[in-house]
Structure 1
Amino acid sequence: MSGREEDLALAVELAREAGDILRHHWQNRATLQPQSKRVGDFVSQADLASERHLRDRLQAARPGDGWLGEETGAGAPAARRWIVDPLDGTTNFLHGLGHFAVSIALEDDGGLALGVVHDPLRGETFAATRDGPATLNGAPIAPSPGGDMTAALFGTGIPFGDMPHIDDHAADIARIAPHCAGVRRFGAAALDLAYVAAGRLDGFWERRLQPWDIAAGLVLLRAAGARVEGWTPDGPPETTGDVVAAGPNLFTPFARIIRGG
């Protein structure tokens, strides 16, 4: 097993362990005492326990690596860095909506090297390295082959609370809705990107996401064969936080409409 394969196996193992922690808290979520980070953005004991476990295990297994976690922030600079969302979809989780995930990515001097998105309730683990393949529970996945906009189903994220760009998203939806079969807002960007990689959604767009929201999903998309860009073709999602993604046959018309071109 190569070093990259060992890293991926470790990430899968840790994502599933963190998923077990989340399932325990899910079964006892009435006892959670969430705190608000800002309007519409929450953290709970489940997020913190999952992140603590992931950080401790990664520090033990890969002591020379760096760290970026949603709840604990960035560690010291290092040649390699793990990017972790311990509970993507916290609001869903707290409301009893069973759509959330653990997201783990590894970044090295070549960019994003691997990504894992684990759905603990469905027992689904999406995983990929930079060189592919992308898999779901070990079986290869691929984006939708379709190129018909009128049959396509898209995902997005809608700003909440006091976010300033709600009008941008309203305009996006107004542009795309007349041309497609529907738009879904599931509330967990990591799973949305994994679903595009697996062909469950035909495409996805969202602005101003954080690295832990998208890092693992970007690896999955590229390894699966989807096209991924930022809001402009030369704006990398890793640095801008803006994502436009779809299968290769649909990307061009989708991107043109959603960008207002």
Structure 2
Amino acid sequence: MENDSDVLLAHRLVDVADALSLRYFGRTPASRQKADGSPVSEADLAVEEALLEILAVERPGDAVLSEESGTRSAAARRWIIDPIDGTIPFLAGRRDWGTHVALEVGGELRIGVLSRPTEGLRWWARQGGGAYASSAGGPWSTARRLRVEPSRVPLGRARVGGFLFAGSPFEAVRERVRWVESSVCLVADLLEGRVEGIVDEGGHVWDRAPAALLVREAGGRVDDLHGGHRLDRPWLVYGADGLAPRLAGLVRSVAG
């Protein structure tokens, strides 16, 4: 288990990211398309630069994997950063965006934090220490323990949401579950009992790292459709114990 200073540093990174991104929010920051067709804005780059500067001072020996700048250094300890997860909704003035920060040690996720700055909320976890929801201003003083309760509900009645590409093969499965559109944070919907499962198509490690640790620490399951929970495979299913294997089987049968 990582020490309290790592937890506090992760929250400090998110504090800085939230404050900085809110300065740009609603002000039409300059943006461009990346090679993969996704947008990146001056806000993404400003947040990333600020977080990298902090890590260079506080954890100079640690590696960093960040969405916009890739990997810096190689070490057993690696910070994983998505400066603004949800740049499209951020630029559109919606509320379903925030910052992702995770710490991985020896290939295992140890700390994960994701935020929703417009709501003043964040969700975080520490390996072996549970998963929590907090308001901004201190991880422990406002912490509320999270629990994903086991579910034996029939798959056809399960509340499921997801991150899907247009024309995704999973579209055919919508009619076989109770599809739920996300609120401001789909992962929080699972952690707080508003859905029983999530299907994630084509995400990246920096998108998924905090969510995977949060779900596992809250008692849920993460399935990469190959019997493991690798974050770099095309599909990932998060779900309540008892439902996740069935949901993964359904996705596997449709997506091939």
1:63-102 to structure 2, matched below 5 A, reads: 63-102=60-99
Tell me the residue number matched to 1:143.
148
Tell me the residue number matched to 1:163.
none
Which one has a larger percent helix, Structure 1 or Structure 2? Answer: 1
Distance in 2 (CA, whole Å) between partners of 1:23 and 1:112 is 28
Gaps spanning 5+ residues in structure 1: where?
161-165
Tell me the residue number matched to 1:16.
15
**Structure 1 position 127 matched with structure 2 position 124:** yes
The alpha-carbon distance between structure 1 residues 3 and 254, as it changes in their structure 2 partners (threshold 3 A), is closer
TM-score by length of 2: 0.88
Q: Which amino acid aligns with 1:13?
A: R
1:1-261 to structure 2, matched below 5 A, reads: 3-27=2-26, 29-30=27-28, 32-38=29-35, 40-109=37-106, 111-137=108-134, 138-148=143-153, 149-159=155-165, 166=167, 169=168, 171-175=169-173, 177-184=174-181, 191-234=185-228, 236-260=229-253
CA contact 1:155–1:185 (8 Å) conserved in 2: yes
Sequence identity (%)? 30
Give the drift of 1:250.
1.8
Give the drift of 1:253.
2.6
CA contact 1:134–1:140 (8 Å) conserved in 2: yes
The alpha-carbon distance between structure 1 residues 63 and 229, as it changes in their structure 2 partners (threshold 3 A), is same
Give the drift of 1:241.
4.7
CA contact 2:165–2:201 (8 Å) conserved in 1: no
Give the drift of 1:59.
1.4
Q: Which amino acid aligns with 2:21?
A: L
Give the drift of 1:185.
6.0
Gaps spanning 5+ residues in structure 2: where?
135-142
CA contact 1:194–1:220 (8 Å) conserved in 2: no
Give the drift of 1:37.
0.6
Question: How many equivalent residue pairs?
Answer: 245
The alpha-carbon distance between structure 1 residues 120 and 58, as it changes in their structure 2 partners (threshold 3 A), is same
Give the drift of 1:97.
1.2
With 3-12 and 221-230 compared, the bigger mean Cα shift is at: 3-12
CA contact 2:67–2:82 (8 Å) conserved in 1: yes
Give the drift of 1:208.
2.6
Runs of 4+ with >6 A deviation: none
With 149-158 and 3-12 compared, the bigger mean Cα shift is at: 149-158
TM-score by length of 1: 0.86
Give the drift of 1:147.
2.8
